[in-house]
Amino acid sequence: MSDVDPIIGNWYRNEETGDDFEVVAIDEDAQTIEIQYFEGELEELDLDAWYELPIEAIEAPEDWSGPYDEMEADDLGFEDDDEDEFDDDDDPERGEDSV
């Protein structure tokens, strides 16, 4: 039995199965918790079931974007450090002859 409370945005591990997941929603009226496994699968648990599972709180995985593999890096808020801030053609320091 778990004494770990579900908190939206926190990551947990089911000690029995080894599955890592994040709590993505809590419906206090319905007494349900929605979790998303690292691979992307969603599952809804009732609050009683949550406390019956052998759950431990863990740090977020280093590559937490596993469920979002189909998304572009721009959608995740990452910036590409390899891109110039502007094109060479836009450089006022370089004349038209610098192409």
Quick one: pLDDT at residue 94? 55
What's the sign of the alpha-carbon dihedral 86, 89, 93, 94?
positive
Quick one: pLDDT at residue 10? 96
Q: How far apart are CA 89 and CA 99, in angstroms?
A: 7
Q: What contacts 20, CB < 8 A, 6 or more positions away?
A: 11, 12, 13, 37, 38, 58, 61
Strands (E), 1-99: 11-14, 20-27, 32-37, 42-46, 55-58
The reported pTM is 0.63
**pLDDT averaged per 10 residues in sequence order, the chain, 99 residues:** 91 96 96 94 96 95 61 52 51 55
Q: How far apart are CA 11 and CA 83, in angstroms?
A: 33
